[in-house]
Amino acid sequence: MELKYLDKLWEKGIRFLGTRYAILCGAMTWVSESRLVSAVSNHGCFGVLAGGNLPVEMLEKEIEATQALTSQPFGVNLITIAPNFEKHVELVSQKRLSHVIFAGAIPPDKAIAQVKASGAKVICFASTLALAKKMIKAGADALIIEGNEAGGHIGPVSTTVLAQEILLHIQKVPVFVAGGIGTGEMIAQYLLMGAAGCQLGTRFAAAEESIAHPQFKKKLIDSDARDAQQTYQFDPFLPVVPVRAIVNKATKRFNQLQLNLLRELEEGKIDRKSAQMKLEEFWVGALRSAVIDGDVENGSVMAGQSVAFVKEVQPVREIIRELVEGAERKLASLWEQG
């Protein structure tokens, strides 16, 4: 398909990523492994491996497996607050990857410098305009802005507000938009606002090439946008990073765990850091139960509100084709009407 309009709008994005299309598949723990990542990259988009809490040896195997499956560009997402973060940085620097993404918190300047010294381009997340400017000053080559419509751990601001706050003021580096995006038509809208491209996660989680359990994919297909709800913190004394997932028994258990930990904190039976660690451990285990074992009632089915657009299990190439054709069609209708 000839892209008369898209190639003009996302030229900055495809040049930065080195891909045919400026669409990223977001890093999803237990889901974004070598098979899905390579499939996304092989079909013209940009796959991202999820480093998460993986042991260094396992992450190395995933990188090598991905390299064996694709010759196209892909990235590795590193969580700055993960126990193995420093070792992960050392690993990706040795592997001389094309792109590394920092997520979770503000990455140390040292980590950014180390990765850039290896020849990789650095992408950082930014949740405010001030943070976007700080990341660019620290050496970020591109930014991802992700609204709270996304799945998994989320921030407090919607994608549409972040887009207005950041896209209208940042032109120095490519900015990719994420959170609640499920159609090519919406990709077109953000490109018109100045985005270099967009990142999606939930639609790719249900892809044929995704290793997610069939029951996990079925749960996504059967869910509506309103089913993907975020968790809340009951007391600021125990800070909780919100998580968006399909409401089930696991989300109710998380709420109960939070209340129990608050009571233990008040009684002095546990310290705040340990309590926060228990909350994170809950999600790590619950997510694996859902994605790998298929326990979608007691496990965590993390998904963004774009789950509304997951209608069936599709091959990656078909998902990408729908997105690209939808975006091009939308742009054509706007320009040709004018």
| Element holding 16 (H helix, E strand) | helix 11-17
Same domain, yes or no, for 196 and 239?
Answer: no
User: Three-state SS for 76?
Assistant: strand
88-92 contacts at long range (C-beta below 8 A, 24 or more positions apart): 88/51, 88/54, 88/56, 88/59, 89/114, 89/115, 90/114, 91/56, 91/59, 91/60, 91/63, 92/63, 92/118, 92/120
Same domain, yes or no, for 279 and 313?
Answer: no
Same domain, yes or no, for 251 and 160?
Answer: no
Provide φ and ψ at 75, rounded to 5°. Answer: -120, 170
Provide φ and ψ at 231, rounded to 5°. Answer: -80, 165
Same domain, yes or no, for 187 and 131?
Answer: yes
- Type of residue numbered 187: I
- We report the CATH number of the domain holding residue 26 as 3.20.20.70
The single residue listed with the structure tokens 């080559």 is 141
Same domain, yes or no, for 127 and 195?
Answer: yes
pLDDT at 338: 57
Same domain, yes or no, for 275 and 179?
Answer: no
Structure tokens, 136: 């660019």
Same domain, yes or no, for 58 and 149?
Answer: yes
Same domain, yes or no, for 173 and 255?
Answer: no
Residue 316 in any domain: the answer is: yes
CB 230 within 8 A of CB 148: yes
CA angle at 7 for the pair 206 and 174, rounded to the nearest 5° = 75
Structure confidence by residue, pLDDT tens digits, 268-323: 999 998 998 898 888 888 999 999 999 999 999 999 999 999 999 999 999 999 99
Residue 278 in any domain: the answer is: yes
The residues of the chain scoring below 50 in pLDDT are: none
Contacts of residue 295, defined as CB under 8 A and 6 or more positions apart, other chains included, come to 215, 289
Q: What is the span of the domain harbouring residue 135?
A: 6-211+307-333
Contacts of residue 294, defined as CB under 8 A and 6 or more positions apart, other chains included, come to 213, 214, 215, 216
CB 225 within 8 A of CB 304: no
Same domain, yes or no, for 191 and 234?
Answer: no
What is the C-alpha to C-alpha distance for residues 8 and 26, in angstroms, rounded to an integer?
23
Q: What is the dihedral of CA 194, 70, 81, 95, to 10 degrees?
A: -110
What is the C-alpha to C-alpha distance for residues 275 and 257, in angstroms, rounded to an integer?
10
Residue 296 in any domain: the answer is: no
Quickly count helices (H) and strands (E) in the chain. Answer: 14, 11
What is the C-alpha to C-alpha distance for residues 190 and 35, in angstroms, rounded to an integer?
29
| Cα–chain center distance at 96 | 22
Same domain, yes or no, for 270 and 315?
Answer: no
Residue 130 in any domain: the answer is: yes
Residue 1 in any domain: the answer is: no
pTM: 0.95
Same domain, yes or no, for 116 and 236?
Answer: no
Partners of residue 221 on adjacent β-strands: none
Partners of residue 269 on adjacent β-strands: none
Same domain, yes or no, for 191 and 72?
Answer: yes
Instruction: Give the HSE-up count for residue 141: Cα atoms under 13 Å, Cβ half-sphere.
Output: 19
Structural domain total, the chain: 2
